[in-house]
Chains A and B, each alone.
Chain A
Amino acid sequence: MDLVNAALAVVKGLPLTLLLAVSALAIGAVGALPVSLGLQSRHIVVRLLCRLCVDLVRGIPIIVWLFVLKFGVVVGTFKLDALQSAIVGLGLVSIAYLAEIYRGGIQAVPRGQTEAAEALGLSSRTRLVHVVLPQAFTIVSPSIATYFVGLLKDTSIASTIVVAEMVFQAQSFARQNPTLAGLLPYVIAGGLYIVLSLPVAFASRRLDARLRRAVV
Chain B
Amino acid sequence: MQLLADWASYLPSMLDGLRISLVIAVISIVAGYALGILLAFGVSVRLAVVRWLCLAIVEIGRGAPALVILYLVYFGLPKVGITFDSFTAACIGLSWNAAAYSSEIIRAGVQSVPRGQLEAADALGLTRRWTLLRVVAPQGLRSAIPGLMGLAIQMFQGTSLAYGIAVPELMKQAYQLGSQNFQYLQVFVLAGLVYALVSVPATWITVFFEKRLGVHRA
Give the interface of A toward B (CB within 8 A): 55-56, 58-61, 63-65, 67-68, 71-74, 153-154, 156-157, 159-160, 167, 170-171, 174, 178-183, 186-187, 189-191, 193-194, 197
Find residues 178-195 in chain B having any chain A CB closer than 8 Å to their own CB.
178, 184-185, 188-189, 191-193, 195
* Contact (A180, B69) CB under 8 Å given A61-B160, A61-B171, A71-B185: no
Does the CB pair A187–B76 fall under 8 Å?
Answer: yes
Of B2-10, B105-113, B140-148, B196-204, the one touching chain A: B196-204
List of B residues within 8 angstroms of A178 by Cβ: 79
Determine whether the beta carbon of A59 is less than 8 Å from that of B163: no
Contact stretch, chosen from B46-54, B56-64, B126-134, B209-217: B56-64
Q: Quick check: A56 and B200 within 8 Å, CB to CB?
A: yes
Contact B184 A72, beta carbon cutoff 8 Å: yes
* A74 to chain B: closest residue by CB: B185
A–B complex contacts, Cβ < 8 Å, 27 sampled: A55-B200, A58-B203, A59-B199, A59-B203, A60-B157, A60-B195, A61-B160, A61-B161, A64-B174, A67-B188, A71-B184, A71-B188, A153-B63, A153-B66, A154-B65, A156-B68, A170-B68, A170-B71, A180-B80, A181-B79, A182-B79, A183-B76, A186-B76, A190-B64, A193-B64, A193-B65, A193-B68
Q: Are A190 and B196 in contact (CB under 8 A)?
A: no
Contacts of A171 in B (CB 8 A): 71, 75
- A127 CB, nearest partner CB in chain B, Å: 28
Indicate whether A194 sits within 8 Å of B164 (C-beta atoms), given known contacts A61-B171, A159-B67. Answer: no
**Contact status of A61 and B158, CB under 8 A, knowing A55-B203, A180-B79, A194-B60:** yes
Measured CA separation A36–B142 after assembly (Å): 30
Tell me if B205 counts as interface (CB < 8 A to partner A).
no
User: CA A74 – CA B75 in complex, angstroms?
Assistant: 34
Q: What are the residues of chain A within 8 A of B76 when measuring CB–CB?
A: 174, 182-183, 186-187
Instruction: Add 17 more A-B contacts to A56-B196, A61-B158, A154-B65 (CB < 8 A).
Output: A59-B203, A63-B163, A64-B174, A65-B192, A72-B189, A74-B185, A153-B65, A157-B65, A167-B71, A170-B71, A171-B71, A171-B75, A181-B79, A183-B76, A186-B68, A186-B75, A194-B60
Contacts of B199 in A (CB 8 A): 58-60
CB within 8 Å for A183 and B68 given contacts A61-B157, A71-B185: no
CA distance A174 to B195 in the complex (A): 31
Alpha-carbon distance between A53 and B75 when the two chains are bound, in angstroms: 37
Most buried by A among B65, B174, B199: B65
B79 to A179, Cβ gap below 8 A?
yes
B72 at the interface (CB under 8 A from A): yes
Among B189, B193, B196, find the residue whose CB has the most chain A CB atoms closer than 10 A.
B196
